[in-house]
Chains A and B, each alone.
Chain A
Amino acid sequence: MTAAASMILRVPGVAIALVLLVAIFGVANPNFATLSNAQNILIQSTILLLLALPMTLIVMTEGLDLSMGAVLTLASIALAMTVVATGSSTLALAAALAVGLGFGVLNGCLVALLDIPPFIATLGTLGIAQGLSLVVTDGQSVVGIPRGLQQVYGGTFGGVPIPILIGIVAFAVFYLTLYRTRFGSYIFALGGNREALKLAGVADRAMLIATYVVGGTMAGFAALLMTARMNSAHPTAGIGLEFDAIAAVAVGGTSFERGNGWLTGTLLGVLVVGVLRNGLNLMAVPSSAQVAGIGALVIAALLVDGLRSRA
């Protein structure tokens, strides 16, 4: 093999996918490759990033959280109802975080204490969160979000849109946590080497619960951006968001059964999903076809991962 070929092989697939997508949309649509659209993509991808970062950790423990979209929705409803009732944004954010935290604890306990397989435990809590959203709102939107709260999504700080700042901070915190703290190394061990963790006297179940709690809490926090963006809360608003997050994690190269994760890959995966959605939007492709495209993307990513693990 020539040096050039081996170099190309070492470039991660997600980076190639991102460059290809940008090139294709750039050629196909003159409005794509503009500075303001690039900024749009980053802003729109923030909510996804807030879900995909903890999802990466959860997948690394050989887990999954199918309830994130539904929990985000319920948290968004809690946030909107609180701010409409009390006028306090702080109290509203606290309500959203409490919903997220509560479901995170529930998911974590179901998985770590009762040993229910993660995909079925979080499928059950997905049903619970979705049902609660419908029950408390009676299927209606919650409107009347004050202007100050909308600024969280639409405003800027020092000339930089606030969602982009939130995304940068979140990525930095997760990066440092995963690669620089003891909790991070426990997460690597939870996926690949849980027995060793147990033998080393680490409370492996507590660590596993903590991973799901991080996921739920981030979903609660993402609800803040979602509500500010939509200027309302709707009981079906977040349905399927967990799929975009799982897609970003899969495309980013985190393996679903070998416990090795790559946070930078997830960031690139989020951008792949974001660029794909934005580019298809510009070309007026309906959202349903976008979902089919992302489904195909996930299966392609799994195929590549499967082929690689064999090679």
Chain B
Amino acid sequence: MTATDAGPLRRGLSGEATQFAARIAAALAVCIVLSLLSDAFLTTSNLLNVLRQTALLFLMASGLTLVILTAGLDLSVGANIGLSACLAAVAIKSTGSPWLGVAVGVGCGSLIGLLNGLLVTALRVPAFIATYGMMWLILGATYSYMGGETVHGFPPAFRQFGSGYFLGIPIPIYMMILFLLLGTLFAQRTVWGQQIYAIGANPVAARLSGIPVQRRLVLVYVVSGAMAGLASLILLARVNSAEADIGEHFTLPAIAAVVIGGTSLFGGSGTIVGTLAGALILTLVVNGMNLLQIKASWQPLVTGVIILLAVWFDIRARRSGE
């Protein structure tokens, strides 16, 4: 049997082990360079900080990974984080209940995801344009709702989500590990997860083999929205204040984490753990820029270049594989 005879899934999985190793090697290389350049890098507090930032980015990007596995895209992630965080902030401020805030944040995120999923399946237009319209709709709604106000100062119980520690390790890191396990189990070991890979690899074949394509597509957008809502809570608990623009700058890094992690924009191949590696690499680069006192205004530029390089490598790899 030649390589091309193997199903897209098997070929993907065997390649993914080496892909993942390459990403860990890249992360290590960045670490070595940074530890040589800056004394502040190899300190416990900085490394924990890197991991905490990685956790936040990973949570945002993990649901998005499922969307991209179906060859879709969710450009509304950043806007979703903004609205979810603002609504949750207002809910917590007005009732004092952290759990109501969690419910509002995750609920708002899921609802936006549901709308995205319904749009993508109903419109039959590319996902990027449907979620792009949604992104601006949500941004406008958030700015109107907040009217330039800032909501800040949350109860300590809520702030634990973002800045608390358990056994000396920041709580977001535990959540990262939890959702890494859940996400990987879902994608690799459940029928629904395998159907999501199949839809991305070949939507027509997936439909003909009886997979309910529309319903699975709605599902991945809901998961992406829910994870954005969850991440918005951790962000909110960490920065302890909410403004309308709180989530705006996260869309580009979230997409970058997914594509650096080796998930193909063309669908059907990629892993959740890859996205974790992608989030780690991007966070290390940003951390390094901070330590070397490079201005924050360089970050969108560097993220843009990294996205383009990662996609280009993916396309080259796919071509040489054909």
Contacts and interface: CB of A to CB of B under 8 A. Distances in A.
A binds B: yes
Interface stretch (A77-85, A128-136, A171-179, A203-211): A128-136
Nearest to A110: B308
Contacts of A291: 136-137, 139-140, 143
Contacts of B129: 64, 119, 246, 250, 256, 302
Contacts of A110: 308
A98 interface: no
Given A123-B252, A292-B136, A306-B124, A116 B312 contact: yes
Interface residues of A, dominant DSSP? helix
A124 interface: yes
Interface in A263-311: 286, 288-296, 298-299, 302-303, 305-306, 309-310
A305 B133 CA distance: 14
Contact of B137 (A64, A292, A309): A292
A12 interface: no
Interface residues of B, number: 46
Interface residues of B, dominant DSSP? helix
Interface string A127-167: 11011101100110000000000000000000000000000
A29 to B, nearest CB: 20
B125 A256 contact: yes
Nearest to A286: B144
A115 B315 contact: yes
A309 B123 CA distance: 10
B47 interface: no
B297 A139 contact: yes
Contact of A257 (B125, B132, B265, B300): B125
A114 interface: yes
Given A64-B128, A124-B304, A246-B132, A303 B140 contact: no
A148 to B, nearest CB: 31
Interface in B115-137: 119, 122-126, 128-130, 132-137
Contacts of A192: none
Query: Interface extent on A, as a size class?
Result: 35 or more
Interface string A105-128: 000001000111101110111111
A22 B228 CA distance: 39
Contact of A292 (B75, B141, B315): B141
A60 to B, nearest CB: 14
B315 A243 contact: no
A131 B244 CA distance: 21
A13 interface: no
B136 A138 contact: no
A135 B301 contact: yes
Contact of B297 (A124, A135, A246, A298): A135
B298 interface: yes
A157 to B, nearest CB: 35
A189 B118 CA distance: 31
Given A124-B308, A134-B297, A117 B265 contact: yes
Contact of A127 (B75, B122, B133, B252): B252
A299 B141 contact: no
A125 B306 CA distance: 11
Contacts of B134: 295, 299
Contacts of A293: 140
**Most A CB atoms within 10 A — which of B126, B135, B299?**
B126
A102 interface: no
A131 B300 contact: yes
B219 to A, nearest CB: 21
A240 interface: yes
A298 B133 contact: yes
Contacts of B305: 124, 127-128
Interface in B292-316: 295, 297-305, 307-308, 311-312, 315
B126 A257 contact: yes
**CB-CB nearest 4 A-B residue pairs:** A131-B301, A127-B304, A292-B140, A295-B137
14 contacts: A120-B73, A120-B265, A123-B304, A127-B305, A128-B300, A134-B297, A135-B301, A138-B297, A292-B136, A296-B137, A299-B133, A299-B137, A302-B119, A305-B123
Given A110-B308, A131-B304, A257-B125, 13 more contacts: A117-B265, A119-B73, A119-B75, A123-B307, A124-B308, A124-B311, A127-B307, A131-B297, A131-B301, A135-B297, A246-B129, A294-B140, A306-B123
Interface of B: 73, 75, 119, 122-126, 128-130, 132-144, 147, 244, 252, 255, 259, 265-266, 295, 297-305, 307-308, 311-312, 315
Interface of A: 64, 66, 110, 114-117, 119-121, 123-128, 130-132, 134-135, 138-139, 240, 243, 246-247, 250, 256-257, 286, 288-296, 298-299, 302-303, 305-306, 309-310
